[in-house]
């Protein structure tokens, strides 16, 4: 069935199945695999707005389909698709290889269709992208739902592309035009946020596999709602920081969705699925009154789904009391970056260890079912000793809560790239970084390396690229040891984790040795000989990835709820 616009999500590297790649621990603490098969939530919201405006849309997650089956041909599927516009996300930098290769395939089979790229990375590199023959347009900004309606109106009904906000485009003579980023909404209450749009598309195209947000989402679904676009914080290495938003997206202050609308979004999700709901954004960014209003709305709407909340800074007891009074089950997520206060301060996270300890204790004292805390390796000012000693800090944190309290602590490499547009990327000397890639093309080439270490785009004054990779494994081993000593993992779990981490560490050394082989054929042969072994480590390397999954019913077990949700959606006023 033809569509007006098809949203395509590419794997990080195309075609990863035909390349001897050792991914390492680059995705151990996120739901997706190292292929980064999770598409951005913007696919859903843009699709919802376009469908409401009368346009047929479709989401095709090529990365998931390629993971599901070695026999699946992304090229053949692209050839069979039919659309006026193919919109490919290049939101996160790790898709610099896959997104561009998919764009080439689309242009090969659909030369008369428009190939559009969008997302944070696309917005930053829009001038470099528009010069590529496979790219016709780049949609910049982080709120492109309304600009997409304007774009489709111009393409289908006639008009001038110069009138489309946020668009970089080529005319028929190949000349580049850059429209201003002029659609920068002050709030997000206009935003359509409805999982029903995706469900309707699945039914229309009879294709659930292609619509999955990431591999196995249908078995362990996790949903999300957004409270904000933009950020009031300024972490040095973050491409979503206040600085980066102003630099890339022309947003000088965050735009918030009202607590009433967020609660409504959660209620709609509950109509369809009894799945955990991740509330994106620290609720206190818009002031404590915002959190109070949201918790009140959640209680009044009787939201029973498990809710996941995130913190950007430690929270006081009052915050947790409100959460405990309003939510049946909740989890907290917090990323201090480092246990080392000088390192944390250097990145712009200006709070001490005592406040981290208090926020964890306050959470468990007020009904928090689980608290996830994340450390990283490869930050400004961080030495090898500092990174490894994060395990010692974890031991202390485990000691200040009860054994029954589900405190999970993770330590993973800051990988694979420093975000373009962040303060660290724009002023590397100040933050102690040395980069191996600056342009989009240089990042794309890095992704074609056989080892995650050689994909890393940076090293620091305090650790070389080799040291960052080695330290990531050693810090993981020390953390696993402390976790076991604290009685938080069984002998079997500990032994399995140590074995996997040591195997991965040895694999990294083997690849280094193979890359020294001068004969190209022999080098490729040796790399292919360890591909299968490397793929076995994709799911979990330095962390137990099963820990970050919320156990819930599958999509199929929610079928009656989905049907009821569809009926409610038909009568819902927007």
CA atoms within 13 A on the CB side of 436: 18
Q: Which CATH class is domain 3-195?
A: alpha beta
Q: Which CATH class is domain 221-548?
A: alpha beta
User: Which own/partner pairs from 166-171 qualify as long-range (CB within 8 Å, at least 24 positions apart)?
Assistant: 166/139, 166/140, 166/141, 167/137, 167/138, 167/139, 167/140, 168/126, 168/127, 168/129, 168/130, 168/137, 168/138, 168/139, 168/140, 169/130, 169/136, 169/137, 169/138, 170/130, 170/136, 170/137
Look up tokens 């409270």; give the residue: 227
277-280 and 307-311: which strand pairing? parallel
Helix, strand, coil content of the chain in percent (nearest 5) = 45, 15, 40
Alpha carbon distance 98, 400 (integer Å): 45
> Can you give the pLDDT at residue 567?
45
> Can you give the pLDDT at residue 546?
65
> Can you give the pLDDT at residue 557?
57
Alpha carbon distance 405, 433 (integer Å): 38
> Can you give the pLDDT at residue 217?
85
> Token digits for 54?
């009368």
> Can you give the pLDDT at residue 566?
44
Question: What does the DSSP 8-state code read for residue 528?
Answer: H
Helix (H) or strand (E) holding 256: strand 255-256
Alpha carbon distance 219, 216 (integer Å): 5
Name residues whose C-beta falls within 8 Å of residue 458's C-beta, 6 or more positions apart in sequence: 378, 417, 418, 428, 433, 434, 435, 436, 465
> Token digits for 320?
């947790």
Domain coordinates in residue numbering, the chain: 3-195, 221-548
Look up tokens 């406040």; give the residue: 355
- For the chain, what is the radius of gyration of the CA atoms? 23
Domain 3-195 identical in fold to domain 221-548 = no
> Token digits for 223?
């949903």
Contact present, 556 and 218 (Cβ < 8 Å)? yes
Alpha carbon distance 82, 99 (integer Å): 18
The reported pTM is: 0.93
> Can you give the pLDDT at residue 193?
86
Sheet holding 83-89, edge to edge: 57-61, 3-9, 83-89, 114-118, 137-139, 167-170, 176-178
pLDDT in tens for each of the 574 residues of the chain? 689 999 999 999 999 999 988 888 877 767 778 888 999 999 999 999 999 999 999 999 999 999 999 999 999 999 999 999 999 999 999 999 999 999 999 999 999 999 999 999 999 999 999 999 999 999 999 999 999 999 999 999 999 999 999 999 999 999 999 999 999 999 999 999 887 788 888 888 888 889 888 888 888 888 999 999 999 999 999 999 999 999 999 999 999 999 999 999 999 999 888 899 999 999 999 987 999 999 999 999 999 999 999 999 999 999 999 999 999 999 999 999 999 999 999 999 999 999 999 999 999 999 999 999 999 999 999 999 999 999 889 999 999 999 999 999 999 898 799 999 999 999 999 999 999 999 999 999 999 999 999 999 999 999 999 999 999 999 999 999 999 999 999 999 999 999 999 999 999 999 999 999 999 999 999 999 988 888 877 766 666 656 666 666 666 555 545 545 544 555 455 5
């Amino acid at each position: 069935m033809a569509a007006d616009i098809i949203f395509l999500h590419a794997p990080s590297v195309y075609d990863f199945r035909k390349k001897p790649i050792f991914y390492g621990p680059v995705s151990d603490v996120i739901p997706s695999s190292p292929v980064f098969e999770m598409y951005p939530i913007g696919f859903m919201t843009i699709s919802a707005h376009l469908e409401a405006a009368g346009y047929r849309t479709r989401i095709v997650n090529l990365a998931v389909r390629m993971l599901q089956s070695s026999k699946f041909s992304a090229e053949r599927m692209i050839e069979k698709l039919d659309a006026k516009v193919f919109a490919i996300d290049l939101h996160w930098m790790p898709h610099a290889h896959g997104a561009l290769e998919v764009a080439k395939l689309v242009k090969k089979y659909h030369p008369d269709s428009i190939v559009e790229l969008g997302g944070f990375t696309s917005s930053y590199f829009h001038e470099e992208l528009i010069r590529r023959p496979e790219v016709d347009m780049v949609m910049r900004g982080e709120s492109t739902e309304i600009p997409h309606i304007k774009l489709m109106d111009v393409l289908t009904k006639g008009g001038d592309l110069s009138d489309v906000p946020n668009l970089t485009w080529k005319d028929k003579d190949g000349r580049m035009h850059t429209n201003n980023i002029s659609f920068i909404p002050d709030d997000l209450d206009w935003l359509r946020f409805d999982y029903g749009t995706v469900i309707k598309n699945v039914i229309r195209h009879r294709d659930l596999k292609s619509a999955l947000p990431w591999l196995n989402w249908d078995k362990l679904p996790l949903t999300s709602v957004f409270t904000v676009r933009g950020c009031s914080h300024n972490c040095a290495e973050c491409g979503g920081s206040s600085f980066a938003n102003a630099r890339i997206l022309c947003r000088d202050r965050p735009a918030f969705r009202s607590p009433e609308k967020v609660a409504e979004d959660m209620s709609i999700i509950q109509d369809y699925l009894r799945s955990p709901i991740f509330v994106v954004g620290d609720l206190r960014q818009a002031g404590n009154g915002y959190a109070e209003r949201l918790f009140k709305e959640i209680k009044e709407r009787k939201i029973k789904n498990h809710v996941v909340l995130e913190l950007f800074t430690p929270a006081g007891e009052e915050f947790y009391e409100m959460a405990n009074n309003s939510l049946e089950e909740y989890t907290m997520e917090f990323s201090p970056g480092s246990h080392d206060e000088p390192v944390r301060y250097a990145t712009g996270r200006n709070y001490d260890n005592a406040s981290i300890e208090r926020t964890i204790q306050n959470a468990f004292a007020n009904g928090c079912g689980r608290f996830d805390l994340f450390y990283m390796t490869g930050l400004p000012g961080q030495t090898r000793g500092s990174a490894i000693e994060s395990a010692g800090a974890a031991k202390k944190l485990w000691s200040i809560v009860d054994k029954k309290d589900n405190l999970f602590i993770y330590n993973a490499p800051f990988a694979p790239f420093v975000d373009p547009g962040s303060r660290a990327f724009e002023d590397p000397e100040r933050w102690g970084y040395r980069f191996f890639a600056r342009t989009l093309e240089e990042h794309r080439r890095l992704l074609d390396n056989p080892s995650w270490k050689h994909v890393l785009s940076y090293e620091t004054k305090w650790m070389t690229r080799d040291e960052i990779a080695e330290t990531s494994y050693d810090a993981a081993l020390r953390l696993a040891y402390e976790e076991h000593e604290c009685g938080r993992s069984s002998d079997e779990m500990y032994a399995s984790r140590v074995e996997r981490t040591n195997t991965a560490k040895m694999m990294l050394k083997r690849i280094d040795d193979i890359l020294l082989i001068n004969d190209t054929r022999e080098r490729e042969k040796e790399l292919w000989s360890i591909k299968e072994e490397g793929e076995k480590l994709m799911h979990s390397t330095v962390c137990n990835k099963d820990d970050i999954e919320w156990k819930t019913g599958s999509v199929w077990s929610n079928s009656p709820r989905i049907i009821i949700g569809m009926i409610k959606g038909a009568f819902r006023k927007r």
